[in-house]
Chain A
């Protein structure tokens, strides 16, 4: 949206051509595409909750990895589609993923320190 506008303005003002190429014009998905993503999110959430109550299947050691994978998929769907990271300038993704990785790295290290050395 706005990035596209900027690209057009940059190109119109004779800015380097790659500046315009960097932010190619994109069509945002249709409302139906967003609804489909929301349905997928709802189904994944239902499966997550199912694992909590389900007693027939023995998830065993697969339970926690399964929950974490489903969580990551939901996180990724919201970030890429609803937050438009899939369509926006890659610098936004780098900024967000950078903060996320920094947080995960710092706190995994902190938790490991408490677990093994405290």
Chain B
């Protein structure tokens, strides 16, 4: 992921330089490994930002669906999520996720200055905070179910679980990526020259955070 821009020239890279590259072919090995992409920006970061741009549409659809259905109790007039929201609890979860963005950026800053141990600690802290958030979400879903707000109760419940569940899946995937980085760092495979890998995972992590900033305000705090 990072070799194209961050890795120092190695004998492998030198070999690649010697290989003939077709002019204008952005996928030519020599162009990518030794000289960087012709745009002057990292392909990996560009891809991640494009992905995040498309994710806006995914979450936009889920949020819109919830806003559309949030008061629909269905023919049986069953409870909807807004009846059982536990704002103090969700506020703490939101705060935890927000602070995980801080630890994520501190992990990147540590790795960028060559502090591998610091990066490892902050990566572990980030994944643990993410785990706390997911644990909170599991608790929230369980208590909602106990209070009679099931997934198939009514359109409002279905839209709520779909939205927050999708977000939870994103956070869980982020934790898997963070733990992979942590293990790589533990094994000595994550060094300063790989900081772009951490940066790209960080972008994903911050994105799930900004999505939650939106969800917390629009879904939980704005009165129905």
Real complex partners, A and B? yes
Contact B98 A38 (CB under 8 A): yes
Q: Please, which residues of chain B bring their CB within 8 A of the CB of A75? A: 210, 213-214
**Distance to closest chain B CB from A59 (angstroms):** 10
Q: How far is the CA of A106 from the CA of B223 in the complex (A)?
A: 23
Q: Which of B44, B61, B68, B102 contacts A38 (CB 8 A)?
A: B102
Q: How far is the CA of A70 from the CA of B192 in the complex (A)?
A: 36
**Distance to closest chain B CB from A57 (angstroms):** 15
Contact A34 B106 (CB under 8 A): yes
A76-118: which residues lie under 8 A (CB-CB) from chain B?
78-79, 81-84, 88-89, 91-92, 95-96, 98-100, 102-104, 106-107, 110-111, 114
A41-81: which residues lie under 8 A (CB-CB) from chain B?
41-42, 45, 48-49, 51-53, 63-64, 67-68, 70-71, 74-75, 78-79, 81
Q: Please, which residues of chain B bring their CB within 8 A of the CB of A42? A: 95, 98-99
Listed A/B pairs (5) with beta-carbon separation below 8 Å: A28-B109, A48-B217, A68-B217, A71-B218, A92-B45
Main secondary structure of the interface of A (DSSP, over half): helix
Interface size on A, residues (CB 8 A): 58
Counting chain B CB atoms within 10 Å of each CB, which of A15, A23, A79 scores highest? A79
18 more CB-based (< 8 A) A-B contacts, given A3-B40, A71-B218, A89-B41: A1-B199, A2-B6, A2-B199, A5-B6, A10-B36, A22-B40, A49-B88, A64-B222, A70-B217, A71-B217, A79-B206, A82-B101, A89-B40, A95-B49, A99-B52, A99-B54, A99-B55, A111-B64
Interface size on B, residues (CB 8 A): 58
Contact B67 A35 (CB under 8 A): no
Q: Please, which residues of chain A bring their CB within 8 A of the CB of B40? A: 3, 6-7, 10, 15, 19, 22-23, 89
Contact B101 A102 (CB under 8 A): no
Q: Is B201 an interface residue (CB 8 A)?
A: no
Contact A28 B49 (CB under 8 A): no
Contact A103 B6 (CB under 8 A): no
Residue of chain B at shortest CB distance from A92 = B49
Given the known inter-chain contacts A74-B213, A103-B60, please indicate yes or no for A2 contacting B2, CB distance below 8 A: yes
